[in-house]
Structure 1
Amino acid sequence: MNVLVVGGAGYIGAHTVQALRERGHKVFVYDNLSTGNLEAVPEDIHFFEGDIRDGDFLRHIFAEYLIDAVVHFAACSLVGESMQDPAKYYNNNVVGTLSLLNAMKGAGVEYLLFSSTAAVYGEPTSLPITETALCQPTNVYGRTKLAIEWSLADYAQAYNLKYTALRYFNAAGASLDASIGEAHPVETHLIPLILQAVTKHKALQVFGDDYPTPDGTCIRDYIHVLDLATAHVLALEKMVQTQQSAVYNLGTETGFSVLEIIKMVEQVTGLVVPYTISPRRAGDPARLVASVNKAKQQLGWQLQHSDLQQIISSAWQWHCK
């Protein structure tokens, strides 16, 4: 297929571009480069610099390049910032996605693979979290993603859109050749922050040590970005094959606390991680761990790289490079 990857210069987007190409799809990348890196886009790929709110430009690309499907990663995604500036998040994430959907509808592009998030669940009532769990997001970022999922369902009902929403937990790690890794203008993800603390000898802030968890720090489900990228390819092909919309969790069904991650980084690097304890951040649930039975059964998806030591080792190799 001809696949437009919106946000394809970003961390997960760039890995998914590689995975799509390896499966034989022709890939085009659309990104406004506000957080993406042009260096992550292969030179032989058609790249378009643009915003998803530019519907005219999108419609031109859909028609000119006969796009069959869209993979949508473009979003503001900082939880703390979303609580401080909700207007930015609703404008970029929700209004931007509606612009993308309307451009697709006008051009007759029927397939959308959407990068959603475990943040749609909020504070879970039971673990692991299944796709049927109640969605009660505790932060603005999660609420914008849930609003988008509702929009996708309504567009699918009315306009024959087929969509798949992938609710992923904590993406981590880097490509095995260390060519692509996490490089955000403002870094908020735990593992790269710990690696920065190690190399720059600057204390990491651990937000909260009074959560109802064994060591008092938040527990999250960390999945290797390569396993995420594989799931995107499988989900896109399944959607086209079945002509059905779907929602899948993507995680590992295993949770690690912040302090456990710190200990593993120390084991992998042989260095001591300096850290201090700060107050909790608003909107941070204590535990988020996925059930991924649905993705395994329906997509034939299997984890290949998501052992915690593998994840941190690949991130460390990229960080060193």
Structure 2
Amino acid sequence: MTITSLVTGGAGFIGSHVAAELLRAGHRVVVLDDLSGGDTANVPDGAHFVAGSVCDAGLVDSLFAEWRFTYVFHLAAYAAEGLSHFIKRYNYTNNVIGSVNLINASVNAGTVRCFVFTSSIAVYGDAEPPMSEDLTPLPIDSYGIAKYAVEQELKVSHEIFDLPYIIFRPHNVYGERQNIGDRYRNVIGIFMNQILRGESCTIFGDGEQTRAFSYIDDVALPIARSVDNPRAYGQTFNIGGDTPYTVNELATTVAAAMDAPLRVDHLPARHEVVHAYSSHEKARDLLGVGAGSVPLTEGLARMAAWARKQGPQEPSVFDGIEVDKNMPPSWRAVSRIR
């Protein structure tokens, strides 16, 4: 029997890597992506690409009718935590309504064996780290609220409609094919692009915020393989790197990976979680994977070699800010209210 998997966001960063892993596992893969943050060049050879949005319920329903998906890997999202405060309507439309369209289609199709959802560490808010899955989520930004809402919807859909699911909460993923031109998210990509452009690395506040960083191979492979593990069904997993670094330490390490002198500009602090990293004991116990196996220095070296080949990118501008009040000045100068 042919296994057919839908990967939403499969032209993006994490999604394209998951799609490639599924192809290697023998799946027939359909990628759905609106290219708002991805690129067709990222879609792996052998995948069938469909340009479109998860927000288009008619398109989603037609794809499920045509392909009769066995598995759904939902990675499409606009994952800018800080910016989500200022684009609430866009955030909830794409990250909640789009997800609901997929859940509805999965239930109605009757062929989906598992719905794999990529949530985020953002659901924990400012809980004391290391954050574990038994904590009650209390997100402090609109992005985290959206992700947690979809998690809850999946649990209810399992109870009412018997839709199997697996939820992953990755954090600060980096690596090849990341959009380094996105000025609003992915600090490693931002730093590398700033260095390539001959600019200083910009840090909000004093730079003593701590994060753990997750190399893409340590995230994409467990997500792709999870559907083959019956113990994973109905579970939520933290996944990613285990060792926290300050943003100041990160800037130093990125500059070294790029073989460039370190230059830093500190900007006014923004509203964000100060310390965010998670434990991975559950993933180790049930999935056989623990914290990331690729050390930060090695992962950065791989990404730096790729980024140098790509060259500097023009930083993106989000054209659709809904609320300008209290927006970081460095974002306000380049973002436009629609």
- TM-score normalised by structure 1 residue count: 0.90
Confirm or deny that 1:117 pairs with 2:120.
yes
Alpha-carbon distance between aligned partners in 1 of 2:180 and 2:104, rounded to the nearest angstrom: 31
Match of residue 211 from structure 2: 220
Partner of 1:213: none
Which of 257, 260, 264 is 2:249 aligned to? 260
Query: Aligned residue for 1:198?
Result: 195
CA distance in 2, matches of 1:302, 1:142: 23
Where does 1:144-159 land on structure 2 (aligned, <5 Å)?
A: 144-159=146-161
One-letter identity of the residue aligned with 1:188? R
Please tell me whether residue 306 in structure 1 is matched to residue 294 in structure 2: yes
* TM-score, length basis structure 2: 0.86
Q: Which runs of 5+ in 1 are unaligned?
A: 175-179, 210-215
How much does 1:304 deviate? 6.3
- Rate the CA distance shift 1:302–1:79 in 2: closer, same or farther, 3 A: closer
Aligned equivalents of 2:212, 2:292: Cα separation in 1: 15
Amino acid paired to 1:299:
L
Q: Any conservation in 1 of the 2:132–2:238 contact (CA below 8 Å)?
A: yes
228, 234, 245: which is aligned to 2:225? 234
Contact 2:180 2:193 in 1 (8 A): no
Q: Per-residue deviation at 1:124?
A: 1.4
Which stretch shifts more, 244-253 or 219-228?
A: 244-253
Distance, in Å, in 2 between the alignment partners of 1:269 and 1:206 is 18
The Cα shift of 1:83 comes to 0.5
CA distance in 2, matches of 1:184, 1:196: 7
How far apart are residue 316 of structure 1 and its match? 0.4
Structure 2 residue matching 1:84: 3-state secondary structure: coil
Q: How much does 1:187 deviate? A: 5.0
Counterpart residue identity of residue 142, structure 2: V
* 1:142 equivalent in alignment to 2:144: yes
Shift of 1:197: 2.0
Work out whether 1:276 is the aligned partner of 2:265. Answer: yes
Shift of 1:184: 5.0
CA contact (8 A) 2:4 2:71 kept: yes
Q: Distance in 2 between matches of 1:90 and 1:247?
A: 22
Distance 1:312 1:26 in 2: 31
Once residues 21 and 291 of structure 2 are traced to their aligned partners in structure 1, the CA distance between those partners, rounded to angstroms, is: 15
Q: In structure 2, give the amino acid aligned to 1:124.
A: A
Cα distance change on mapping 1:243 and 1:137 into 2, 3 Å: closer
Matched positions, count: 306
Deviation per CA, 1:69-107: give whole Å up to 9, x if none: 100011111123210121111111111111111111111
Q: Is the contact made by 1:7 and 1:31 (CA closer than 8 Å) also made in structure 2? A: yes
Distance 2:259 2:59 in 1: 50
Q: CA deviation at 1:305?
A: 4.8
**Residue 43 of structure 1, CA deviation:** 4.0
Q: Residue 17 of structure 1 aligns with which residue?
A: 19
| CA deviations over 1:248-291 (Å, ceiling 9, x no partner) | 00122210111111111232233113211112222x11111111
Which residue in 1 is equivalent to 2:82? Answer: 80
| Counterpart in the other structure of 2:185 | 188
Q: Is the 8 A contact 1:181 1:318 kept in 2?
A: no
Determine if the alignment matches structure 1 residue 245 to structure 2 residue 242: no
Distance 2:227 2:50 in 1: 22
| AA in 2 matched with 1:9 | A
- State the AA in 2 paired with 1:281: R
Alpha-carbon separation, structure 1, partners of 2:23 and 2:162: 27
Matching residue of 2:306: 318
Residue in 2 that maps onto 1:91: 93
Question: Any idea what the Cα deviations from partners look like across 1:106-135, whole Å, max 9, x if unmatched?
Answer: 11124110010000001113x311101121
* Identity of matched residues, %: 29
Amino acid at match of 1:306: V
Kept in 2, the 8 Å contact 1:3–1:28? The answer is yes
Kept in 2, the 8 Å contact 1:69–1:112? The answer is yes
Check the 8 A contact 1:4/1:27 in 2, yes or no.
yes
What stretches of structure 2 of length at least 5 have no aligned partner? 310-338
**Equivalent residue in structure 1 for 2:205, among 191, 204, 208:** 208
Structure 2 partner of 1:165: 167
* Alpha-carbon spacing, 1:244–1:43, altered in 2? closer, same or farther (3 Å): closer
Q: Which amino acid aligns with 1:114?
A: F
CA separation in 1, counterparts of 2:264 and 2:231?
49
Which letter maps to 1:261?
Answer: L
CA 1:95 to 1:46, structure 2 compared with 1: closer, same or farther past 3 Å?
same
Give the counterpart of 2:277 among 273, 289, 293.
289
CA RMSD of aligned residues (A): 1.7
In structure 2, the residue matched to 1:128 is 130
